[in-house]
Copies of this chain bind each other. A is one copy, B any other.
Amino acid sequence: MNPVRVAAERNTKSAVAEHNGGRRRDMAGLRVRGFRGNAVAAGIKYEDRLDLGLVVSDVPAVSAAVFTRNVVKAAPVLEGIRHMNGSDSRISAIVVNSGNANACTGQRGLDDYRAVCGLAASLLGIPAGRVVFSSTGVIGAPLPVERFEKAIPGLVKGLSGTGLDAVARAILTTDTCPKTATRRAVVDGVEITLAGMAKGAGMIAPSMGPPQATMLAFIMSDASVEQTWWQEALERAVETSFNRITVDGDTSTNDTVYALANGTAGNAPLKAGSSGAGALEALLHELLLELAMQIVRDGEGATKCVAIHVKGAGSDASALAVARTVADSPLVKTAFAGEDPNWGRILAAAGRSGVGFVPENVNLWIGDVQIAASGMGTGAGQEAAASAVMKQRDFSIVLDLGCGAGSATVYTCDLTEEYVHINSDYRT
């Protein structure tokens, strides 16, 4: 099955889209007990493409969420935080649109948010306080609410158990393909499903915390969970998945993850410390990491996905700072694009990260090829071997700072002319 092309917004990326399409996971479809979905073309930015989606849980779902830490927060983020901090954070429905971020839209943005939630709630016959609403797209334009009003009745009418995949397509912007993942496991003797959808290709360097990219992800489960643990589990899982990816280092005003667990599986509610909770959390982390990797692989203009492993640092935090600096270095990322094992750029980026280390203790591998030893190059033969590794679509680098036990991994993509092309043109 071919990936959906978002031709209107990313018509120049067909080669990459095909490339991505050839290697994507199974497309069996998103199905989770007690969840329905639907998406329509509401004409929010472009005509005739899916741009408005709805996810509904048949019963109010225990919910967890993390939002961008950017100081500039879009209206849906501000309202989402308000919802999560409220006395009852359960969610029955998520409305989501692409094409407009509803960011930097002031009071009108907040009013528009509430109007859309209110309309969806009334048509669904549920309280407005059980509906949340996420947006992604251009910053600074008011939401065309009349198009929402026109489209929402049909959106609600068409809800079905097989409609979640359409939502996964409706949330795409410069993405070339939908991003979904599913896990099933028996927890405490009950079969539980965990499924998620995500979007994001540019303005990707999520830094999300508790109520407080543009990446969006919606996680659905039929598990029964205790809310406090579910929120903590989501935060931990996000920290080492979505918060460890970067496309361009630009953290969005709209990054949001909602995780809904509706309890229809009938297990006893999972809470902190139980083995069942541990099992579900491991599954959740696996699911988020899979979605996060799908985002990096589909980064704007990307042709490579590179895992930057830093070890031997003074602390995990130091390792993470080094990994992030290397992962966002334009010179490192263009060298990846050029399949050039230009290890000096990697060391130079590490050296400007603000983290102290002794250059003479540093060892560096590209794949399994050691390209620098004790801070110096290992020669032309190794460079040739490393260059061969870099011809792959996915590879790793390991940077050992040789001064401690701290480690961290950040996932990045290469920086290509196509990235510049996409982003010089985006609004025009």
> Could you say which residues of chain B place their CB within 8 Å of the CB of A352?
69-71, 205, 207, 250-251
Say yes or no: A344 contacts B140, CB within 8 Å.
Answer: yes
- B-binding segment of A51-59, A116-124, A374-382: A374-382
Say yes or no: B70 contacts A342, CB within 8 Å.
Answer: no
A217 within 8 A of B: no
A426 within 8 A of B: yes
Say yes or no: B331 contacts A248, CB within 8 Å.
Answer: yes
For A202, give the chain B residue with the smallest CB separation.
Answer: B331
Nearest chain B CB to A334 CB, angstrom units:
4
Question: Count of A residues near B, CB < 8 Å?
Answer: 66
A248 CA / B350 CA spacing, docked (Å): 15
For A71, give the chain B residue with the smallest CB separation.
Answer: B351
> Could you say which residues of chain B place their CB within 8 Å of the CB of A355?
71
Say yes or no: B426 contacts A250, CB within 8 Å.
Answer: no
- B-binding segment of A19-27, A37-45, A356-364: A356-364
Say yes or no: B71 contacts A359, CB within 8 Å.
Answer: yes
Say yes or no: B424 contacts A250, CB within 8 Å.
Answer: no
A47 within 8 A of B: no
A347 within 8 A of B: yes
For A106, give its contact among B139, B329, B375, B417 (CB under 8 Å).
B375
A415 within 8 A of B: yes
> Could you say which residues of chain B place their CB within 8 Å of the CB of A71?
350-353, 355-357, 359
For A362, give the chain B residue with the smallest CB separation.
Answer: B72
A141 within 8 A of B: yes
A416 within 8 A of B: yes
> Could you say which residues of chain B place their CB within 8 Å of the CB of A360?
106
A375 CA / B138 CA spacing, docked (Å): 15
Which 9 pairs of residues, A with B, have the shortest CB-CB distance? A139-B344, A72-B351, A338-B424, A334-B423, A71-B351, A251-B352, A417-B417, A70-B351, A140-B344
Sample of 14 more A-B contacts, CB < 8 Å, known A138-B344, A338-B426? A73-B359, A103-B344, A104-B344, A104-B359, A104-B377, A139-B342, A140-B372, A140-B377, A248-B330, A249-B329, A250-B329, A340-B427, A340-B428, A417-B420
